[in-house]
Structure 1
């Protein structure tokens, strides 16, 4: 097949899928938006890459104004037009697209269908619900109108897709409720590239600590976007609880609106044990996790119904326990519980959050057991020999059905 994989954010696991597909003989164009502020995978062409793989950055006017609706609308229209042009030039049999707004999805879908390609909607979030809830507090008058418009666009894109790949079964009622036939709805959970998240030596974490002046302190580490669906106050609470203990540090590697709140708290409360850093290259993530004693994740109660934080899947590869504040019914929380890879508390319960942090800090044997269990789960669940064929089946079926419809025939 000729396959276009579009991952707006440039995350690590979609480009791993593109490399896997190309290594098996498919011609693959991988598109992403460098203007989106997000942790990125290995997006540069590498000497060992398959001949059939091409990775391209699609420009956007300026950095994505994620929380400025009018500016973002203009940017995403321009981006979708350029990405659509690349799709048309590549002439794929099928487009797999995700990690973007309903506007971008709908326009790329129309571009794909206009040129006879099937479109597979890779559903990472229930986008309309996220928009409604994010705007409700900041722009209450705009929220209902914007929510309805985005919901209609998302519904149209889902209903007109040749297939939908949802990352959790929790999304299936919303998918089917928007007109997608159950036969076209598939569940393939996200993953993380395990082999690429293994430290190159046992000393990698120690070297990373030394480079940042962290010494031998016990480290709680958060790595990932700090958006509206995350709770930066939990990180400040960790630092505040250990401000008088020189042997404990909190390291935050991330960008987004939550970072400014953390930096304000750090300055106002003199939280010298809180270190805030920019995103690191993906190649450095294995060392970051090796440097951590506990890896940290948060998700607000509102976001629990429409989002699954992929950083938790990355953390599982790191062999460290996870401390999470998120709704227990969220798919990531269920994974942590099933793998016995960390502790999950209800978001907003600061006492439980700090108690769980203290429990992990005081029990090295428990940390080692949970870290090993998380890594073992990742090695089992994130194997491309299991995940890749599932995508191939969906892509081939969608491309075949679209080709039959384009030719005016009915598949047997």
Structure 2
């Protein structure tokens, strides 16, 4: 059972949260907060995997919560389920980047959408957060989702995967946003043009008259045959690249005229139709099967992607190391803990290479530093690298100022 803070003073919403959590087997146990200060204290000390914030609740200073999370990268450890009023969606979307939001749920659609989102998170919890998956990151991981034609579920899946790669330090913020767009577009295409058989012309006419394509999807899904169709999404994530496949159960479509419209008569895309072209631009090796109901694409990772520096260390000075430069030698005094900002480091003991460390490992030299022992190995930079040396005095002062980081650091170092 995992505690899930619910930051809301709405008794009806809180009651529904509790019922839905019970219905899903009690994997998440809701812990309710009606004060932003109490909620922030809980988030800082407990570092929950998932938290629900009711942004439609005028009695809670949700902006203060969001600002605090955005200001400190380490508070991105947990994902946010954000509940909002429909009229506030655009404003909220502008506010939530860099805060690990997993799903945006309109208050009016809360019951059905929250159930789906929570079920998705429970079923796919092993790729939720990189901090719990160090062993998986040594090789490749793979998995698959089977989803219905619900756009809210699709957005959650896109958030889940793109945030996982970002939190795993495989991609930077820009690539995360591009991957999110690509995943969402390909999954929505599978729903719209695949399972729901909505043609370009039908979608154009509907949007000109009604504006919102979601209502057309709901209307189409009233047909039991369409409603029963599923979207199949699979992934394989290796240290170097990610591979994705999206397949629908429709008849396919003329994908060739959308991937390279200039080669097919320069199609006028009008108010929509840009999704495939954007995806083709944002990712790599976009390929369809002949009928058009299955698409594959890839995304290359950035080697040794730079770590975001936690707020508590932002006053420390970074130090660059040249190729083959020694960071410290076996047997030396351990006066510094090193936060890995960028690069790769070789670890030698007794003259033998025993390991390599990258920004995924976050810290270097932590054991001898914490145990007041001499260095047990020699560390050499492979290529250019950047470290942030943290003196013992600074480390202790940081823990005094923000005790919750002691808990977080202990979790990281225990893995």
Which is helix-richer, 1 or 2? 1
Structure number with the higher strand fraction is 2
Larger gyration radius, structure 1 or structure 2: 2
Greater RCO, CA 8 A, separation 6+: 1
Normalised TM-score (structure 1): 0.28
TM-score in terms of structure 2 length? 0.28
